[in-house]
Amino acid sequence: MKNIIELKNITKNYGDFTALDHINLEIKEGEFVTLLGPSGCGKTTTLRIIGGFEDPSEGQVYFDGKQINETPANKRSVNTVFQKYALFTHLSVYDNIAFGPKLKKMESHLIEKKVKESLRIVNLEGFEKREISTLSGGQQQRIAIARALINEPKVLLLDEPLGALDLKLRQGMQRELSNMHQKLGITFIYVTHDQEEALSMSDTVVVMNRGKILQIGSPEDVYNEPKTPFVADFIGESNIIPGVMKKDLLVNFANHDFECVDKGFKPNEQIDVVVRPEDIHVTSPNTGMIQAKVTSVNFKGVHYEMTASCNNFEWLIQSTKFRDIDETIGISIIPDHIHIMKRESVNG
Amino acid sequence: MGKKSYGSPYFVWMSIFIIVPMFLVLYYAFTIQTDQGMVFSLDNIKRIAEPLYIKVFVRSLVLALESTAICLLIAYPAAMILADKKFSKSTTFLVMIVLPMWMNFLLRTYSWLSLLENNGLINKLVISLGFERMQLMYNEGAVVLGMVYNFLPFMILPIYSVLVKIDNNVIEAARDLGCTSFGVFKKITVPLSLPGVLSGITMVFMPAISTFIISRLLSGGKVSLIGNVIEQQFLVLGDWGFGSALSLVLMVFILISMAFINKGSSGYEGGIL
Ligand SMILES: Nc1ncnc2c1ncn2[C@@H]1O[C@H](COP(=O)(O)OP(=O)(O)OP(=O)(O)O)[C@@H](O)[C@H]1O
Ligand SMILES: [Mg+2]
């Protein structure tokens, strides 16, 4: 597969502020890439540079192998679903969605068919004649998706396109978008805050923070092998515990030696250990590797979420077993679930 | 305290300054003085149909439309420059537009006199360059110039205020979907700014069709507009009946124009007035 979009050394400065700091990113044709990161980390800015609404201060943007830094937005085969919808309030729903096809001078009966189909995809059949101001936030968001999708661009940029939807609708739309992605072979560059959405929909997840890319990988990769504590913390909840690599396959943390699967560290190298809350087994106090005292319990539907303290460290635990506050429990972790990260002088 | 009592001062104000004078205008327009005192009559209204007055009405309408059109042509680009975020000097520019409004209206118009007069600044310059003296005043052109100059801010400001409200994201969305700059202007900017354009037109057209001071000063009384005729009836000839009839017809005229403009704006939010 060839690269459809390539960002080379992209930097974006606003005055003294660096919104993007030497970003390098390659996106393959037909890929579903998600940009994930906290608010203000530069996700929208990255999309705006790809869409042609912002000039990078440094670096090059390639589309299909050709440099497109100078190509204006209207000449790029890229369409955007804007974070703030940006619908045309003076036009009806129909005219909003038909805006792109009309510009391309498509035949009107064809446009009509496509608008209908787009409205079906976003679950708003029969909304053609409605005025934008009469739509709810979630409906507006879906019209924005339909307006971009109808053009079948090579690359579709989606800036938190499901942010205003409730859980049920969001899951439905996630499925629809995934289907569209597979059916049309459009490359999706998707921005979200929601790590679950990122993990479930994407081929590749790009984790960003403060204008930098911290990790690029498959959802499994970034979840199971986070490269930095920030990634570990941002992608799902996790326990990050300082520790020491005693030798290959043996790590000490929480005052206990654990077997692990990592090697290649210096003897007694300081490292960070990541353990996912759902990977911690709650046992009886004497069969556990370490003991801890439960300090809080919350019912979360499928499981209980507990915190338990041991040697001044608060463990976050997800378990289907209920343990009451102040009960002493045992904790055990299998070697596969202990992830070792190199200690960085400055983390994410 | 009920809601009503808050409104009562306005109601009193409106009665004294709007409703009572309106009734007086109606009363004078439809009565004439006879031996039996004031009696109902349509004579005043019928007199307006005389060719002389029809001509004045038409002239007033044409000049007002011309000034409104010229104001629009100048104001739209000016408002766009003002609203452009990249144009950092816009406050300076805005002040430049608003500043003349702080000056007395008569003073501003008189200052044009000193420029345009046969012995005015422009003619002095022209003659010193060896050209013929030009007749700049005492014609319809000078009246239109005066109207455009005086009423231009009333066109710029409403257009400016709708243009600055247009979300940049919407412009970007149009570009994203393939619009060229001109396409964005035609399909997005113009339709979204229409309410401002319509209120600008109203705010220029209304004073332009009823002005008498601009025409009197800049045409030296040579170009007579409906405002001048009305003024003459009241202040010179003392014919309140005919003056009221003319005012009434002018008012109906304005109302019809407004209805016309409002119809054009239906479908767009707000409308005017
Ligand atoms: N035009 C601008 N001028 C100055 N700073 C800007 C501008 N646009 C963006 N920034 C800054 O750049 C940073 C990145 O912004 P960006 O919109 O890309 O964040 P984001 O990752 O999309 O955040 P969110 O998830 O909240 O949408 C922010 O700190 C923002 O304040
Ligand atoms: Mg954003």
What are the residue boundaries of the structural domains of chain B, listed by start? 1-41, 50-272
- Residues B8-28: pLDDT tens digits? 888 888 888 889 999 999 999
Q: Which amino acid is at A301?
A: G
CATH number of A237-342: 2.40.50.140
Provide the CA A280 distance to its chain's centre, in angstroms.
25
**pLDDT, average across residues B120-125:** 87
What pLDDT is stored for residue B179 in this prediction? 94
The residue contributing the CA closest to ligand 1 atom 20 is A40
Residue B45 vs residue B2, higher pLDDT: B45
User: B271 pLDDT exceeds 50?
Assistant: no
What pLDDT is stored for residue B58 in this prediction? 93
Q: Minimal Cα distance from B178: which residue of A?
A: A74
**Measured CA distances, B154 to B85, B95, B225, B257 (Å):** 22, 14, 21, 18
- Residues B124-162: pLDDT tens digits? 888 888 888 888 888 899 999 999 999 999 999 999 999
What pLDDT is stored for residue B220 in this prediction? 84
Distance from Cα A20 to the centre of ligand 2, integer Å: 13
Q: Tell me, using a 6 A CB cutoff, whether residue A122 lines ligand 1.
A: no
Rg of chain B over CA atoms, in angstroms? 23
The encoded tokens of residue A39 equal: 């608010």
Q: Hey, are the CB atoms on B180 and A74 less than 8 Å from each other? A: yes
Q: Tell me, using a 6 A CB cutoff, whether residue A157 lines ligand 1.
A: no
DSSP state of A276: -
Q: Tell me, using a 6 A CB cutoff, whether residue A345 lines ligand 1.
A: no
Rounded to the nearest integer, the mean pLDDT of chain B is 87
Confidence band for B89, pLDDT divided at 50, 70 and 90: low
Interface TM-score (ipTM) > 0.85: no
**pLDDT, average across residues B87-96:** 72
What pLDDT is stored for residue A142 in this prediction? 92
Query: B84 CA to chain A: closest CA distance, Å?
Result: 16
- Residues B165-189: pLDDT tens digits? 999 999 999 999 999 999 999 999 9
Q: Which amino acid is at A32?
A: F
The residue contributing the CA closest to ligand 1 atom 3 is A14
Q: Minimal Cα distance from A145: which residue of B?
A: B173
The encoded tokens of residue B206 equal: 């209304």
The residue contributing the CA closest to ligand 1 atom 24 is A39
- Residues B101-120: pLDDT tens digits? 788 888 888 888 888 888 88
Q: Per DSSP, what are the bridge partners of residue A206? A: A35, A216
B170 shares contact with chain A (CB less than 8 Å): yes
User: B269 pLDDT exceeds 60?
Assistant: no
User: B55 pLDDT exceeds 80?
Assistant: yes
Answer whether B140's CB lies under 8 Å from B65's CB: no
CATH topology of domain B50-272: MetI-like fold (1.10.3720)
Q: Helices B240-265 and B20-29 sit at what angle, rounded to 10 degrees?
A: 120
Distance from Cα A26 to the centre of ligand 1, integer Å: 22
- Count CB-CB contacts under 10 A for residue A330: 16
Q: Tell me, using a 6 A CB cutoff, whether residue A41 lines ligand 1.
A: yes
Counting one residue from chain A and one from chain B, the pairs whose CB atoms sit within 8 A come to: 63
The CATH class given to the A3-231 domain equals alpha beta
Residue to mutate, A16, A17, A212, ligand 1, most ligand atoms under 8 Å from C-beta: A17
For chain B, give the percent of residues with pLDDT over 90: 51
B188 shares contact with chain A (CB less than 8 Å): yes
Query: A230 CA to chain B: closest CA distance, Å?
Result: 32
What pLDDT is stored for residue A180 in this prediction? 84
All residues at 6 or more sequence positions from A70 whose CB lies less than 8 Å from its CB, including other chains = none
Q: Ligand nearest A208 Cα, by number? A: 1
Q: Hey, are the CB atoms on A74 and B175 less than 8 Å from each other? A: yes
Q: Tell me, using a 6 A CB cutoff, whether residue A318 lines ligand 1.
A: no
Answer whether A10's CB lies under 8 Å from A45's CB: no
B85 shares contact with chain A (CB less than 8 Å): no
Answer whether A97's CB lies under 8 Å from A87's CB: no
> Domain-by-domain residue ranges, chain A?
3-231, 237-342
The residue contributing the CA closest to ligand 1 atom 22 is A44
Q: Minimal Cα distance from B182: which residue of A?
A: A74
What pLDDT is stored for residue A145 in this prediction? 93
* Three-state secondary-structure class, residue B84: coil
What pLDDT is stored for residue B273 in this prediction? 39
Q: Hey, are the CB atoms on A79 and B177 less than 8 Å from each other? A: yes
Q: Minimal Cα distance from A90: which residue of B?
A: B192
Strands ordered across the beta sheet of A3-14: A17-28, A3-14, A58-63, A66-67
Consecutive sets of 10 residues in chain A, 348 residues long: mean pLDDT of each?
93 96 95 94 96 95 95 94 93 96 94 95 93 92 94 94 87 88 91 90 95 95 89 88 91 91 89 92 91 92 92 90 92 92 63
User: Lowest-confidence range among A250-254, B46-50, B98-102, B201-205?
Assistant: B98-102
